[in-house]
Amino acid sequence: MAHFLAKLAAVGGGTAAAGGGIVAGASSVFGSQGEPSEKPKVKNHVEETPPVAPTPKESAPESSCIVWEAEDPKGTPNNRSFKKLLEKYKSKDDFFQKWGDGSDRPMQNGFKDEIEKACKGTNDKKNVDGRVYVWWMSSSNKWIYAGDMHDGNHKWEEEISDKPSA
């Protein structure tokens, strides 16, 4: 047996130099006294992981987009401010439902899309922490969304005392 191990060591050494590992493998088969040892039995343990439910993309600004109807601020762009908030809509859809086709103040073409983009904060349209401020310009009979009224993080409902109770 000793002769076998010596040969195995000589051949295994060459193999190990070439990247093999026969000696290590063979020596684990035999115990320290040259007797075959029993290989430990290892159960194949496959750990199951529960499937992870995909989480929907967060669209907080859009889904929680609050629309405030304000009184016409008058003045010129970048030189005006709201003085009175008239009504709060918990969502853009609530606003669209009230002022859609057939209402006495219907939305003109493109206005709904403008509000959608403002709620998402896309295409240079802005909101302030999920709030969009609009007003009805009675002289033109149309709804107005103005980007300048969304600059400077104005939370108009916190700055204006003349507003409906939430």
Confidence category of residue 59, pLDDT binned at 50, 70, 90: very low
- Is the CB of residue 111 less than 8 Å from the CB of residue 117? no
Nearest in space to 132 (alpha carbons), one of 85, 165, 166:
85
Confidence check: pLDDT of 46 > 70: no
67 DSSP assignment: E
In the numeric block, which tokens belong to residue 92? 């853009």
- Is the CB of residue 72 less than 8 Å from the CB of residue 134? no
Pairwise pLDDT comparison (124 vs 12), residue with the higher score = 124
* Separation between Cα atoms, residue 16 and residue 149, nearest integer Å: 76
Least trusted range by pLDDT, from 2-11, 93-102, 129-138? 2-11
Q: If you average pLDDT over every residue of the chain, what do you get?
A: 74
